[in-house]
């Protein structure tokens, strides 16, 4: 029986300029999905749908989608004025539960996007004969949809399930629901962890075939074969196939696109302030009029100085963050490390912008506290003089490929290769080179290199570690600029703590009797 479903696909109808051309909205802002008919009728409509896929993908980065796990772990301390933002998540207490907004939003974002990917993949599979002329173009976009779906499931399994272990991966309800066909009435149970990772691999294999002709390019606005290989590297690292993890990461490192780590202050400025660098494997479109993703503004919150401060400060721009970088994190960087110099504002001096941004916290007093400014913002993406943390989304960066290769070589017993890759990263960043490789050195390098990128929780889980305390900056602690107590700067989380596997959201548990909640909640 023919079924026609009319529904609003906000992601499909949004205007996303993934290239320089200007695209229009679908008529009436909606798509009529006919399971037996054509999802699109010409190249123009196909282009609209492709933009919608990119909207779905881009919307899941930055803001709460990366901040949640960063402030849940040990890199940040809540300021005294944090207003309970990410409260339960940061405290890792009873408020980090199935009703937590941030956990719910992550789950719903990824499954909402998966719905769109499924619709498109199915739509191409049943493309009527009269539209076969669009086949080549449609297959490229289908490859992107497979890539996006693989990315979404990898994000979900990393957060809502225990780390991959071949001995337990086939246990019932150990993974997340696998939904591969759009069906609004379906109430899927949780698949096994093995089944989810197998599907990720299958989607990546399909993406690889469909996108084999899309050569990599620095800061590409479209998914390329390098992006597929980078996601393969993440997948293989998770499932402990270290030979293939190192191979895929190395393939990206050796790409003809010639990605390069920033190794001078100017290069850091280009990459992390102007979005014009050489580190991004993928850099998604953004403009002053629309951004389409979250902003990491909780680390900075820039505003104009209040009138009650001294004359030489009034009217200047300052930061009033909700979260400060922990001293525990800062202590890991060598003094000559460019990541410390460029990703953190020390005593108000910001090397990315060559400006001075004082930190005002309480009663308009200035305090010289180090703040995290890796995501201060791109001045070309704001219409005011206040940087608002809006930047081009960079889902995949070359720094991660160095880390994956080094970790994979090390775990495969090839310490000389691991040291070579690790030293190449450290040398570019201006850090002291390691004389050898240990698990602790690799663990700390992941912390330093990927801070703020939403990879901290997966790193902690993959290494089988919890964390011990979030030692605060001395000034922040002595001047009562941070929240204090056992659930704040003294917080310790064991590797066995059930909170490291996020809970299935309340609404899904209540409306879907086939779902089983994670242990502990």
Per-residue confidence (pLDDT) for residue 311, from 0 to 100: 63
Write out pLDDT tens, residues 149-187. 999 999 999 999 999 999 999 999 999 999 999 888 899
Per-residue confidence (pLDDT) for residue 18, from 0 to 100: 36
Containing 4, the helix (H) or strand (E) segment is strand 4-7
Q: In this predicted structure, which of 169-178, 341-350, 402-411 has the lowest mean pLDDT?
A: 341-350
Band (pLDDT 50/70/90 cuts) for residue 308 is low
Give phi and psi for 188, each to the nearest 5. -75, 140
Number of neighbouring beta carbons within 10 Å of residue 221? 19
pLDDT at 35 over 90: no
Tokens of 242: 């270290």
Q: Domain 221-285+392-454: what homologous superfamily?
A: Tetratricopeptide repeat domain (1.25.40.10)
Write out pLDDT tens, residues 294-305. 899 999 998 877
Is 221-285+392-454 the same fold as 1-213+500-521? yes
Alpha helices in 285-414 (DSSP H): 327-330, 338-343, 398-411
Fold classified for 1-213+500-521: 1.25.40
Per-residue confidence (pLDDT) for residue 29, from 0 to 100: 35
Write out pLDDT tens, residues 232-291. 999 999 999 999 999 999 999 999 999 999 999 999 999 999 999 999 999 999 998 887
pLDDT at 405 over 70: yes
Alpha helices in 254-397 (DSSP H): 265-272, 327-330, 338-343
The domain limits of the chain are: 1-213+500-521, 221-285+392-454, 290-381
Q: In this predicted structure, which of 23-27, 140-144, 383-387 has the lowest mean pLDDT?
A: 23-27
Between CA 300 and CA 325 the distance in angstroms is 11
């Amino acid at each position: 029986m023919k079924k026609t479903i009319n529904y609003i696909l906000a992601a499909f109808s949004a205007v996303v300029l993934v290239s320089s051309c200007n695209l229009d909205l679908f008529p009436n802002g909606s798509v009529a999905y006919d399971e037996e008919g054509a999802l699109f009728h010409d190249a123009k409509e196909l282009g609209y749908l492709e933009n919608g896929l990119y909207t779905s993908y881009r919307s899941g980065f930055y803001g709460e989608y990366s901040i949640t796990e960063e402030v849940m772990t040990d890199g940040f301390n809540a300021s005294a004025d944090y207003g309970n933002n990410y409260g339960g998540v940061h405290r890792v207490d009873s408020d980090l539960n199935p009703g937590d907004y941030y956990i719910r939003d992550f789950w719903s974002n990824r499954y909402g996007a998966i719905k769109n990917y499924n619709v498109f993949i199915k739509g191409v599979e049943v493309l009527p004969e009269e539209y076969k002329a669009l086949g080549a173009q449609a297959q490229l976009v289908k490859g992107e949809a497979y890539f996006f779906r693989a990315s979404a499931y990898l994000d979900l399994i990393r957060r809502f399930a225990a780390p991959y272990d071949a001995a337990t991966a086939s246990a019932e309800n150990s993974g997340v629901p696998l939904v591969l066909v759009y069906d609004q009435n379906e109430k899927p149970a949780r698949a096994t962890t093995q089944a989810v990772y197998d599907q990720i691999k299958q989607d990546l294999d399909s993406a690889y075939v469909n996108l084999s002709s899309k050569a990599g390019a620095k800061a590409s606005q479209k998914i390329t074969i390098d992006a597929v290989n980078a996601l393969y590297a993440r997948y293989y690292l998770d499932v402990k196939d270290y030979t293939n993890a190192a191979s895929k990461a190395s393939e990206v490192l050796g790409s003809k696109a010639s990605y390069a780590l920033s190794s001078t202050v100017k290069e850091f400025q280009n990459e992390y302030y102007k979005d014009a660098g050489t580190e991004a494997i993928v850099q998604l479109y953004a403009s002053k009029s629309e951004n389409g993703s979250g902003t990491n503004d909780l680390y900075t919150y820039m505003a104009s100085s209040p009138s009650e401060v001294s004359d030489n400060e009034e009217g200047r721009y300052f930061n009033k963050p909700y979260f400060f970088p922990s001293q525990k994190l800062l202590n890991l960087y060598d003094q000559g490390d460019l990541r410390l110099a460029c990703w953190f504002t020390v005593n108000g001096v910001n090397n990315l912008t060559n400006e001075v941004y004082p930190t005002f916290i309480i009663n308009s007093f200035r305090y010289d506290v180090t703040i995290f400014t890796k995501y201060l913002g791109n001045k070309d993406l704001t219409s005011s003089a206040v940087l608002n943390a809006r930047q081009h989304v960079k889902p995949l960066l070359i720094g991660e490929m160095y880390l994956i290769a080094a970790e994979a070589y090390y775990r495969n017993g090839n310490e000389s290769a691991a040291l070579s890759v690790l030293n190449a990263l450290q040398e570019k960043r201006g850090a002291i080179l390691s004389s050898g490789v240990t698990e602790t050195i690799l663990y700390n390098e992941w912390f330093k290199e990927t801070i703020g990128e939403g990879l901290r929780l997966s790193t902690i889980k993959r290494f089988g570690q919890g964390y011990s305390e979030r030692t605060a900056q001395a000034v922040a602690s002595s001047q009562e600029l941070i929240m204090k107590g056992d659930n704040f700067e003294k917080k310790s989380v064991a590797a066995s703590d059930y909170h490291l596997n996020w809970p299935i959201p309340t609404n899904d548990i209540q409306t879907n009797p086939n779902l089983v909640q994670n242990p502990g909640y």
